[in-house]
Structure formats: structure tokens, C-alpha cells
Amino acid sequence: MSFWQHPAEEFLAQRLDVGVNSADEEPDDAMPVEPGPLELWAVGDRVLRSRLRGVGAAEVRELERARGALPPPPLGDRQLAAIGTRVDRLVDVSAPLRTGPAQTLAVDAALAGGLRVLGAVGGVHGDVLLTVTYSRVRPKQRLRAWVELLALTATRHDRPWRAVVVGRGDDDPDVTVVTLGPVGAEDARAALADLVRLRAHGCCGPLPVPVGTGAGYAEARSRGRDPGSARVAAESAWASSYRRDGEDVDAAHALIWGEAASLTVLEDWTASPGLLGDAHRDEPTDFGRLARTIWQPLLDAERTVVR
């Protein structure tokens, strides 16, 4: 799971024993005046976790005020009210899916060649693997839910498992609901085997497949766009601009591919013989074939609704 959340970081850790996390900074004991996006996200995430555990909205507000992470009233109260409105929407939309207490189920998926995937999947409500996040739904959350769904389906193929990710929409107060599956047992084993095989390769040599960049390319191709248009979508996720950071500035990517590397560096990668099989031969680059090998099964099983 950790590999597919960030393949480059996992390669550096597994193969080279290199970490790229920055050193912890000394905590700031100054009174907060204008929290940044990360600080506000952390508050929202805490509020959501508390509400999903059954803590009332009024009690959560008092707890957050006591933490001191937000400015004093009235500014802090306005920020907390805005966070509370978003959290209320996430709680309400996910309520029909949260049937009974969440379960954690063991997985033991037998794959071809004697491989087994062992572990556990949490957040299971009935036939649904549920993720509720204060973040906007991005490729990383979708890919994590997909791996969990494949592992559970390959282990317990007697039920029509679905994975559902509920998160904030691009516009407040929209909520995005992504549903994956159900997937047939054989299809689940085949897709999981591909991810396991690619992971083994990616822990020995870096795979040029940043999560957002690979998803951008594969999604464009899945919608029928030509490779040139799909490349534009991939570059939008990879390359930084004056308005936002792309995946090219990620510390692990910069260490492996170079500072401010262009997408061409990823496209110049050549897969070792047999790594990508016979699928997606119509792609002009091995980067494109790799992205579609990872993402196409997920895209075929995915439905997205904005509420």
C-alpha cells in the first residue's frame, strides 16, 4: 500500500535506505493569527474524525477552541464554522453507507506463481469499504481504495464488495463520491498481480509513474483523447507553474529524476523486457503503457458523483 501511495519514496526507502522527509521544525508558540491551508486541513480532519466517532458538533467546537490551533474569536469562530459546514456535508452524505460499526477484515489473496498478499482492510461496513476524508478526492485516495478492494475481493469473492471514497468537492459545499466495483474475482486477482509485480520492480529501480501524473495520462486516454492530448493532462499534474506546485518539486521525484525535470525525462524511460506484457501496445511511450496498466482497470470500475 505504501508503495502505491508514493512509488518514488518507497524506492528510495526500500532500495537505498534514503528518507526525504524534512526535519521536524520547532513548534511555534506564537498565537495563531491566520492559519495556512495545512493547518486548516488538520483542524478539519480532526473535526471529521471526531464527528464520525459520534462526538456531537457542539462538543467538537469546544474541543477545537480549547486546542488553540485557530485564532481567537471572531476570526477563529468564522473559520471553525466554515469547517463545520463542510464536515456536516461529509457526515450527512456518508451516513447511509455507515451501516453499523466499521469492521477490519483480514486478507489473504492467493495469486499466480505462489504469491500471496497478506494484511487487513479496515472501514468495512457491510459490503462497502468506506473512506471519508476531509481532503478533496485525488488519485492517491482512489488508488488506495482500489488496492484494498482488489485484495478483499481476491480473498473473499463470495460478496459483491465495493470501495467508496467520500471527500470534499472542488467547490464548497459539494461532496464527491467515488465508487469502485464490484469487481469479479479473477479480474481482481489479475489487477492485483500486476500491481504486486510492478511494485517488486519499482522497489529495485524507480518507476516513472508519479500518482497524479500517471492518473492524468490514463484518464485522458480512457476518455478517448489521443496520446498528445493525454500528455498535456499528465504534464499539468507533473510540471509546476507560478500558481501551484506540481509533482516535479516533490523531494523524492527531484532526487531521482532531477530538479525541475521535464515530463520528457519520464517518457524516456524504457521498460525491461516483459514488464508490461502485451497490453496497450498503441501507446507511443513505455511511460504511457505503464500508466494505463496501473490505472485502466480502476477507471473501468469507477463511477463518480458530485452531490
End-to-end CA distance of the chain: 29
- pLDDT tens, residue order, the chain (307 aa): 999 999 999 999 999 999 886 444 445 555 556 788 899 999 999 999 999 999 999 999 999 888 888 888 888 889 999 999 999 999 999 999 998 889 999 999 999 888 999 999 999 999 999 999 999 999 999 999 999 999 999 999 999 999 999 999 999 889 999 999 999 999 999 999 999 999 999 999 999 999 999 999 999 999 999 999 999 999 999 999 988 999 999 999 999 999 999 999 999 999 999 999 999 999 999 999 999 999 999 999 999 999 9
* Of the candidates 286, 138, 289, the residue with the CA atom closest to the CA atom of residue 212: 138
pLDDT of 31 reads: 52
In DSSP terms, which residues pair with 136 in a beta bridge?
168
pLDDT of 25 reads: 44
pLDDT of 22 reads: 47
- For residue 202, how far is the Cα from the chain centroid? 18
Phi-psi region of 304 (alpha: psi -120 to 50; beta: other; left: phi over 0): beta
- Are 52 and 91 spatial neighbours (Cβ–Cβ below 8 Å)? yes
Q: Which residues contact 246 (CB under 8 A, 6 or more apart)?
A: 236, 237, 238, 239, 240
User: Is the full-model pTM beyond 0.85?
Assistant: yes
CATH for 29-96 (3.90.1150.10, 3.30.420.10, 1.20.120.1200, 1.10.10.990): 1.10.10.990
CB atoms within 10 A of CB 84: 18
pLDDT of 33 reads: 60
pLDDT of 113 reads: 85
- Are 87 and 44 spatial neighbours (Cβ–Cβ below 8 Å)? yes
What are the structural domain ranges in the chain?
29-96, 99-191, 208-302
Biggest CA-to-CA distance, the chain = 63
- Are 80 and 61 spatial neighbours (Cβ–Cβ below 8 Å)? yes
Q: What is the distance between the alpha carbons of residues 284 and 228, in angstroms, rounded to a whole number?
A: 10
pLDDT of 28 reads: 53
Q: Which three three-digit cell numbers place residue 84? A: 463545520
Q: Work out whether strand 128-136 and strand 162-168 pair parallel, antiparallel, or are unpaired.
A: parallel
pLDDT of 75 reads: 81
pLDDT of 24 reads: 43
